[in-house]
Amino acid sequence: MTSSYPLGDLVPAIAIGARYRYDWQLFADWCTAVDAPALPADPLTIAMFLDEHPAATGTHRRRLSAINTVHTRSGYTAPGTAHALRERLTRRTRPRPDLRDAADEVIRRLPTTGWPGGLFGRRDALLLTLACRMRLSPIQIGRLKRSDVTFDGLTVRIPNHGIVVDHDPDESPRTDPVAVYLRWARLQAFTDRTPSNRWLGESLTTATPVTDDTVTGLQLLPPIRHNGPLLPSFDKWGHANVGQAGLSRRAITRILTAHLTGGTRTRDQRAVKFFDDGWADAVEDVVESISDDENTTTDPVEPPELSSEEIATRYEAGLAARRGTAEAMADLEPTFDDLDDRTDELFARIQKLLDMTTENP
């Protein structure tokens, strides 16, 4: 078949490589026939191309790899990474009602209150929702930042992955993806305003458990103050690990496997003993001591009385010290001049070397 769209007209051959030459040529010829741009291409064009060329899943994956590789080597974003295309071509992300049902059943059992059970329960509910209902991989979930997810009062969006989920008033608020996200996002917003496990634990301990009759509040979230990972890791006491990295791929896989296979144990709820551990009294004592120090009145220190002779002597001593310093510094002027000359000479030599390098690469 004679190509009506030479490879070199689109992209240098080095960006294609022998491995992807045939698949890319097939895609470029088809784009020419339908009058669609091949570089850069959009996900819709790729979906139409794959639909017009039926083949095995492995062949479609190879074609998609060719298209993505040529785009990235040419400085464009890979269009084949769209969520809909990945979901269609990746076996592990094919719709699995059984997995969704299993995840919903687990989420129903996870606690939404108590310390630290409510903290882990809300986080893991969102983790299960992202993996089993929104079809994100563990690596993608671990890389999500708080700002990557938006909520407009009705819809949760993850633009980088093409995910749009509307609030479903007919679904139980225990498993509705929007409600699950909002429970966790509002918890993170609370820690923005009050970055203390003391108050977070108290808030979760006194919170009302979520039931099927709970009304989901759809108020907008406050602006994010600290844009960290959407799903951070915690130690067993509920303290978030310091850093910008979220849960690792291994940790996410372990948590998902444990929940979906029934291998998790019930996390013991702890009494928040540090609410009355004496430190609040210590803070008050420190504040009171500072206030007492500030309010303490002391007698002003009066300067000593000096006679006119003593004042004149001190004045002359000050002038003599200044003159001595000026004379000592005067000896440094030639040294500084010499440094300036040597610096100019060094700059000139560097510029000459750069010019020679440019002329003879």
Of 113, 131, 130, nearest in space to 122 by CA? 113
* Residues 168 and 81 grouped into a single domain: no
* Residues 253 and 133 grouped into a single domain: yes
pLDDT at 180: 97
The answer to whether residue 293 is domain-embedded is: no
Identify the weakest region by mean pLDDT among 36-45, 110-119, 292-301: 292-301
**How many domains does the chain contain in total?**
2
pTM above 0.85, yes or no: no
The answer to whether residue 235 is domain-embedded is: yes
Over 60: is that where the pLDDT of 9 sits? Answer: no
* Residues 108 and 74 grouped into a single domain: no
Summarize the confidence of residues 341-354 as an average pLDDT: 76
The answer to whether residue 227 is domain-embedded is: yes
The answer to whether residue 330 is domain-embedded is: no
Cis preceding linkage at 40, omega within 30 = yes
Summarize the confidence of residues 24-51 as an average pLDDT: 85
Give the count of beta carbons closer than 10 Å to the beta carbon of residue 25: 18
* Residues 41 and 111 grouped into a single domain: no
pLDDT digits (tens, 9 = 90+) for 304-329: 666 667 777 777 777 777 777 767 66
Residue range(s) defining the domain that contains residue 63: 7-93
pLDDT digits (tens, 9 = 90+) for 246-279: 898 889 989 998 898 887 665 555 555 544 445 5
Q: Which of 207, 240, 275 is the last residue of a domain?
A: 275
Assess contact for 53 and 26: CB atoms under 8 A: yes
227/221 Cα distance (integer angstroms): 14
pLDDT digits (tens, 9 = 90+) for 291-302: 555 555 555 656
The CA-CA-CA angle for residues 297, 299, 304, to 5°, reads: 155
Bridge partners of residue 240, in order along the sequence: 234
Summarize the confidence of residues 178-202 as an average pLDDT: 91
pLDDT at 1: 38
Assess contact for 83 and 90: CB atoms under 8 A: no
Summarize the confidence of residues 335-350 as an average pLDDT: 75
Q: Which of 73, 93, 113 is the last residue of a domain?
A: 93
Over 80: is that where the pLDDT of 184 sits? Answer: yes
Assess contact for 245 and 139: CB atoms under 8 A: no
pLDDT at 88: 62
Identify the weakest region by mean pLDDT among 6-10, 29-33, 277-281, 286-290: 6-10
pLDDT digits (tens, 9 = 90+) for 54-92: 777 778 888 888 888 888 888 888 887 766 566 666 544
* Residues 112 and 217 grouped into a single domain: yes
pLDDT at 42: 83
pLDDT digits (tens, 9 = 90+) for 137-171: 888 999 999 999 999 999 999 998 889 999 999 99
CATH number at residue 89: 1.10.150.130
pLDDT band at 109 (very low <50, low <70, confident <90, very high): very high
Place of tokens 């007698």: 299
Q: Which of 247, 275, 303 is the last residue of a domain?
A: 275
Bridge partners of residue 156, in order along the sequence: 151, 165
pLDDT at 288: 60
pLDDT digits (tens, 9 = 90+) for 194-252: 888 888 888 899 999 999 999 999 999 999 988 999 999 888 878 887 666 789 888 99
* Residues 262 and 176 grouped into a single domain: yes
126/107 Cα distance (integer angstroms): 9
* Residues 115 and 202 grouped into a single domain: yes
126/19 Cα distance (integer angstroms): 40
pLDDT band at 3 (very low <50, low <70, confident <90, very high): very low
- Total number of residues shown for the chain: 361
